Amino acid sequence: MVEPEGVEPSTSWTTIRPTSILHFGIKIPDNNLLSYSLPPLPPLGAFDVRFDGDMRVVENGGKIKIQNQEYPITLSYNINNDENKSGDWKLLNPSSGDEYILSSSGSIEFSSPIDEIILAKENYEWSIKKKMYTL
């Protein structure tokens, strides 16, 4: 996969296998947003992973949409914590309520069907998102 223009190799990223790479913790200028968008979803049955809004890059996290027919799937991640990106990243599985704290690097395996997960920094926004998906 070609990396988005202006994304440094040390940028935080997540990979969901079969392979699709998403980047997060990156501020994208409004005039460059189109460069980071994805085409419409492929036909049902095809693998696809993207952030809500058909994006492959987000600054503060968001909903990750997953279209997949085969399980398990593995989410691998690498967190680049520097002074500009401090804070803990978390994943929430709205289907099960499971929460995962992402630190440094690692992987999470989802053995049952899942069509979305939520990625966010642990802060006030995370609390709001968590409440929205646990109602």
Q: Where are the chain's structural domains?
A: 13-133
Residue 123 has a pLDDT of 65
Euclidean distance between CA atoms 5 and 57, whole angstroms: 11
- Give 10-residue mean pLDDT values along the chain (135 residues): 48 68 86 90 91 92 91 87 63 93 88 92 54 40
Identify the DSSP state of 65. E
Residue 55 has a pLDDT of 94
Residue 131 has a pLDDT of 42
Q: Which residues contact 94 (CB under 8 A, 6 or more apart)?
A: 116, 117, 118, 133, 134
Residue 2 has a pLDDT of 45
Residue 129 has a pLDDT of 47
**Strand 57-58 to 21-24 pairing:** parallel
Find the helix or strand (DSSP H, E) in which 132 lies.
Answer: helix 124-133
